[in-house]
Amino acid sequence: MQSMASWKIFINPERCIGCHACEMACEQTHGGASNIKVQCAPVFCRHCEVPPCITVCYRNAIEMRNGKILLIKDLCTNCGICIFACPFGAIMTTTITRRIEPKEKAHRDVPLLSRLFGGKIFPKERQIVLVHKCDGCVERAEAGVARPACAATCPSGAIECKDIAQASSSKRIRTYEVHLVTHLTHREGTSL
Amino acid sequence: MKGILIRKDLCIGCRACASACEHGIIQIEETKEFRKIIVSGSCPDECKNCKDVCPTEAIIGEKPTSPQEVLFRLTLCRRCGMPTAPEPMLNFISRRMNQPLFELDLCITCRQQLMWEAIRER
């Protein structure tokens, strides 16, 4: 079994056939919310070395563990600030609807006028925009599966999972190392 | 009975309070141009969820408050013209990241596309 830190995910945009299989695989692994979006080629967290999302998060809900950037759900407030801090648009959102449990105490305290418009004051359901991002399939790694779901599913080899020793040689054949880009590539043209 | 008063000068228009509010008293309505934060009265419970999560401590108030709305115009993406985020929110990010604001006014789709375009050009 490969350990967490020894591999990295590589994307070959030319090989992507746009089948969205990686999105499906990610959805299944992460309980219905895909952390991948196929936009020309698969887009997901690049696990930057200097991550803007960590800098911007005011709750310290994003942290780096073994080179993987993880969003801690208990601390996250779903504010959406990190979404716009990420230069790659790699932090995803899903809108879910949750039922509001009416509390007896809550209703008792409200003046009569408000209670008449009860439906409006106490809506039956509320919508939450959940923020989620790629976690490098930590749970799969802990369960002993070597590769993340997207790399295991990709039929055309656009998403590959290689260990670091192989990575240096594959750079020459235009495989893009996911890990090194930390800035807006389209603006500054930084090295890959 | 606790009031919810949003200070319009401090609020950046993120979604933190709306997703923290378990009673659905703070809700967000989003149209093509605007994001509206709607507070439909006082909080019936003694919870302080919205106060705790607010990044700028914009939520104040001890006494019961009347319904209110905070309206934000959404910044348009400089590439495709689609709405992105409220300007105060982008200002907040640019302050925290020490990055000029013009780098941030791209929508998510454009960021994703530009990443691959930049890589293909190389």
Distance CA A33, CA A25 (A): 10
Domain parsing of chain A, residue ranges = 7-164
pLDDT tens string B53-111: 999 999 987 777 778 889 999 999 988 999 999 999 999 999 998 878 777 888 999 99
Contact B104 A84 (CB under 8 A): yes
Contact A39 B113 (CB under 8 A): yes
Residues of chain B with a CB closer than 8 angstroms to some CB in chain A = 1, 14-16, 18-25, 27, 40-41, 44-45, 53, 55, 84-85, 89-90, 92-93, 96-97, 99, 103-104, 108-120, 122
Confidence category of residue A190, pLDDT binned at 50, 70, 90: very low
Is A48 in contact with A42 (CB distance < 8 Å)? no
Contact B93 A187 (CB under 8 A): no
DSSP state of A159: E
Per-residue pLDDT at A132? 95
Distance CA B69, CA B38 (A): 5
Q: How big is the CA angle at B58 (ends B57 and B62), to the nearest 5 degrees?
A: 95
Confidence category of residue A156, pLDDT binned at 50, 70, 90: very high
Q: Which residue has the higher pLDDT, B40 or A90?
A: A90
Distance CA B76, CA B57 (A): 26
Mutate: best of B23, B28, B89, B107, partner A, most A CBs <10 A = B23
Confidence category of residue A187, pLDDT binned at 50, 70, 90: very low
C-alpha R_g of chain B: 17
Per-residue pLDDT at A6? 63
Per-residue pLDDT at A185? 43
Confirm whether the ipTM is greater than 0.85: yes
pTM over 0.95: no
Contact B115 A88 (CB under 8 A): yes
Chain B residues whose beta carbon lies within 8 Å of the beta carbon of residue A87: 103, 111, 115
Is the domain spanning A7-164 CATH 3.10.20.30? The answer is: no
- Section A134-144 average pLDDT: 87
**Partner residue opposite B41 with nearest CB, options A40, A114, A128:** A114
- Section A83-100 average pLDDT: 91
Is B67 in contact with B75 (CB distance < 8 Å)? no
Q: Is the dihedral of CA A94, A7, A69, A184 positive or negative?
A: negative
Quote the minimal CA–CA distance from B12 to chain A in Å. 10
B25 pLDDT higher than 50: yes
Distance CA A109, CA A98 (A): 23
For B22, the token pair is: 């378990």
